[in-house]
């Protein structure tokens, strides 16, 4: 449930199908909190939704990421005026998996802004358990930028790939929000970071963020092996068929590929001998648990920071989505709501 001015997915025609509408405001029900959103941000998920690829019935308010100020609270944990960020996962909070802290295994697991109305609106209602204190060190733009990508990249590198401080990681497709989050988190862990991108400008930005060397996106496997000696310990993937075989070629013996997405298509071929002779771990991951979100917040208190590419007013949500669709960004595309 969300209200006020909102960016609403109305028809599957891409960014043009997302329009700003005025919706009625209501009070939060018990156990829920109404957050007056200051900043939200868009992800590739919103584009897929807008193109009709997610099979979500419109209308739906878009966006998973949100930061703002508690406006009204139906839960004693929060009071009006509290500055908060939203854990972007939709789940039941009551099943045995949710109670065990494994929100990602909930049968009703989903993403805010896809499976429920999202954060690109003036007033969003969320379960009080989705609300966390905004880190003091972040601007509002940064606070609305980090949740989905940092939660996703955190789980991929820490929980799934178990990246260690003295290991090497290759981040593929370095401009995407989740990849920029991965570079920042891998550096925060203390790992040596390498990155690929088609864009020279994005390769330069990756170096500024702490990458040791960068590579063009085509045929990078041999170059990665040459620079690292015997390949990297972990490859961070979200591109899929266009890069997966080169990603496998980049791995050291016993290395791990961890993936959260497949922007270049849904089916990929892999070399089976490379998989078993290489003792390769092929790991899937999506979003993360509330405890992992808390770990991200603690890392932010220790200096971890998101990268904001550009900020658009809510009225320009179509331009924000088109910017993302053109893959021009480095880091996050933020919406300024109020």
98 is a contact residue toward Zn ion (CB under 5 A): yes
Under the binding rule (CB under 5 A), the answer on residue 106 touching Zn ion is yes
Pick from 20, 95, 275, 327 the residue near Zn ion by CB under 5 A.
95
Token code pair at residue 58? 């419109």
Nearest 10 degrees: Cα torsion 338, 66, 193, 320: -60
Q: Cα separations (Å) of 287 from 78, 145, 238, 331? A: 25, 15, 13, 17
Tell whether residue 129 is a contact of Zn ion (CB under 5 A): no
Give the nearer residue to Zn ion in terms of CB position, either 95 or 275. Answer: 95
> Helix, strand, or coil here: 139?
coil
Give me the least distance between CB of 90 and Zn ion, in Å please.
10
At 193, list the tokens: 């970071």
Report, in Å, the least distance between residue 104 CB and Zn ion: 10
* Residue 106 C-beta: closest distance to Zn ion, Å: 3
Residue 91 or 123: the one with the smaller Cβ distance to Zn ion is 91
Q: Strand locations in the chain, DSSP E?
A: 2-9, 18-23, 32-42, 60-61, 65-73, 83-86, 89-90, 110-111, 121-127, 131-133, 168-171, 192-196, 213-215, 232-237, 251-259, 281-284, 308-313, 332-336
Residue nearest to Zn ion (CB): 106
Name the one range near Zn ion by CB under 5 A: 20-28, 40-48, 102-110, 282-290: 102-110
110 binds Zn ion (CB under 5 A): no
The count of C-alpha atoms lying within 13 angstroms of the C-alpha of 150, restricted to the half-sphere facing its C-beta, is 31
The one segment of 90-98, 127-135, 274-282, 315-323 that binds Zn ion by CB under 5 A: 90-98
- 11 with 311: CB under 8 angstroms? no
Nearer to Zn ion, 98 or 185 (CB): 98
- Total residues at the site for Zn ion (CB under 5 A)? 5
Identify which of residues 106 and 151 has a Cβ nearer to Zn ion in the complex: 106
Task: Tell me the three state secondary structure of residue 300.
Answer: helix
Among 1, 20, 69, 92, binds Zn ion (CB under 5 A): 92
Name the residues that contact Zn ion, by CB under 5 A.
91-92, 95, 98, 106
């Amino acid at each position: 449930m969300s209200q006020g001015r909102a960016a609403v997915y109305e028809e599957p025609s891409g960014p043009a199908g997302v329009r700003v509408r005025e919706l009625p405001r209501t009070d939060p029900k018990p156990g829920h909190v109404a957050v007056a959103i200051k900043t939200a941000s868009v992800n590739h998920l919103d584009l897929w939704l807008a193109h009709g690829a997610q099979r979500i019935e419109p209308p739906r308010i878009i966006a998973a990421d949100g930061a703002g100020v508690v406006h009204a609270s139906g839960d004693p944990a929060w009071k009006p005026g509290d500055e908060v960020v939203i854990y972007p996962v939709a789940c039941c909070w009551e099943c045995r998996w949710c109670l065990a802290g494994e929100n990602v295994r909930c049968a009703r697991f989903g993403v805010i802004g896809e499976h429920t109305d999202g954060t690109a609106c003036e007033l969003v209602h969320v379960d009080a358990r989705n609300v966390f204190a905004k880190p003091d060190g972040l601007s509002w733009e940064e606070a609305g930028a980090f949740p989905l990508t940092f939660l996703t990249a955190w789980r991929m590198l820490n929980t799934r790939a178990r990246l260690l401080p003295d290991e090497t990681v290759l981040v593929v497709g370095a401009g995407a929000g989740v990849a920029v989050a991965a570079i920042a988190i891998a550096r925060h862990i203390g790992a040596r970071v390498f990155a690929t991108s088609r864009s020279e400008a994005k390769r330069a930005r990756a170096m500024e963020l702490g990458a040791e060397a960068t590579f063009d996106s085509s045929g990078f496997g041999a170059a990665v092996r040459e620079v690292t000696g015997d390949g990297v310990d972990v490859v961070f993937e979200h591109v899929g068929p266009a890069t997966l075989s080169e990603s496998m070629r980049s791995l050291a013996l016993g290395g791990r590929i961890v993936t959260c997405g497949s922007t270049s298509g849904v089916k990929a071929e892999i070399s089976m001998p490379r998989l078993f002779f290489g003792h390769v771990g092929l790991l899937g991951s999506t979003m993360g648990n509330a405890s992992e979100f808390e770990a991200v917040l603690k890392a932010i208190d220790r200096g971890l920071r998101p990268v904001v590419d550009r900020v658009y007013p809510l009225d320009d949500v179509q331009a924000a989505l088109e910017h993302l669709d053109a893959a021009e960004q480095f880091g996050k595309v933020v919406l300024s709501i109020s």
